[in-house]
Structure 1
Amino acid sequence: MNVLIVYTHPNHKSLCDAFLQEIISACEQNNNIQEWKVVDLYQEDFNPVLVFNERKRRRDMHTDPDYENYRQQIIWADKIVFIYPIWWGRPPAMLLGYFDQVFAANFAYRAKGKYLAEGLLEGKTAVCISTMKGPAYYPLFLLNNAHKMLMKKAVLNFAGIKKVKFFEFGSMELPNGNQQQKLKKIYSYFKRLQH
């Protein structure tokens, strides 16, 4: 199994980075994982701004050479892991810009009839690991689970990735947020991961 880790946090002293390090350690110990790669969108200075003009046409995004490396990483991966904080009830703009540009029509999906689309990334699975300052129930009760709906339904399922697992960790800035227990949970999950 090939695992692609898309890391989206500007601070490498963050809890998101601690989750990243646990996943890397677990991948190294898991015989089911042949290879793993990390894409650090902030470190790579990924430009999340979507541009359409005479030179960059929307219909050609699936062949845009600026994103060929990212498309090849998606093709290579069996499992895609997204690590990010929840800001304003949603993932960072950096990650949303990644989806805007990499998950393009005729790469991640294609039109099927007038109103339907066909996901082209079938067979892949995803894991979403998110942290937030607020309590874990906040997105569910106050935001109608908007974050999960966005990631699962509007992006990943739409692109054909039907199996999506979520780890949402709230109250992460509190001293008693059980951070070590949650890090162990992620390590254990990835160490036993089979696909």
Structure 2
Amino acid sequence: MNISVIVGHPYKHSFNAAIAAAAAEALNERGHHVLFHDLYREQFNPVLSDTELVSDVPEDTLTALHQQEIREADGIVIIHPNWWGQPPAIMKG
């Protein structure tokens, strides 16, 4: 199965990062194909442009890649901190 693991925490040694790494490792060990994304390390831009809003077509290649992988994934694991009851802005983007 194709599993997309996405982590959104600014500190690469955080508990969230450790959870994401453990999840990806466990899935790999069980024979799944893991697509791992650390949004901060990839410098993902969460800002939605006006052009993208009306066209529904991403302007940057990283967003297009994420969209394609999520469409093709059999499972998605999303890991992020809970800040004031919500995920961080990078995860919302």
RMSD: 1.4
Q: How big is the shift at 1:27? A: 1.2
| Residues 1:58 and 2:56 aligned together | no
Specify the code of the residue in structure 2 equivalent to 1:58.
Answer: L
TM superposition score normalised by structure 2 = 0.87
- Determine what percentage of the aligned residue pairs are the same residue: 35
For the Cα contact (< 8 Å) 2:52–2:59, is it kept in 1? Answer: no
Read off the aligned partner of 2:5 and give its amino acid letter: I
Q: Does 1:96 align with 2:78?
A: no
Q: Which residue of 2 aligns with 1:38?
A: 36
Q: Greater Rg, structure 1 or structure 2? A: 1
Query: In the superposition, relative to structure 1, how do residues 25 and 90 fare at CA in structure 2: closer, same or farther (>3 Å)?
Result: same
**Structure 1 residue 23: deviation in Å?**
0.8
- Once residues 36 and 82 of structure 1 are traced to their aligned partners in structure 2, the CA distance between those partners, rounded to angstroms, is 13
Deviation, structure 1 residue 46 = 0.9
> Does residue 15 of the first structure (1) align with residue 9 of the second (2)?
no
Distance in 2 (CA, whole Å) between partners of 1:22 and 1:47 is 25
**Separation in 2, partners of 1:60, 1:80:** 25
Structure 1 stretches of at least 4 aligned residues deviating more than 6 Å after TM superposition: none
Work out the number of aligned pairs and report it: 91
Contiguous gaps of at least 5 residues in structure 1: 98-195
Instruction: Judge conservation of contact 2:8–2:91 (CA < 8 Å) in 1.
Output: yes
TM-score normalised by L of structure 1 = 0.44
CA distance in 1: counterparts of 2:21 and 2:65, whole angstroms: 23
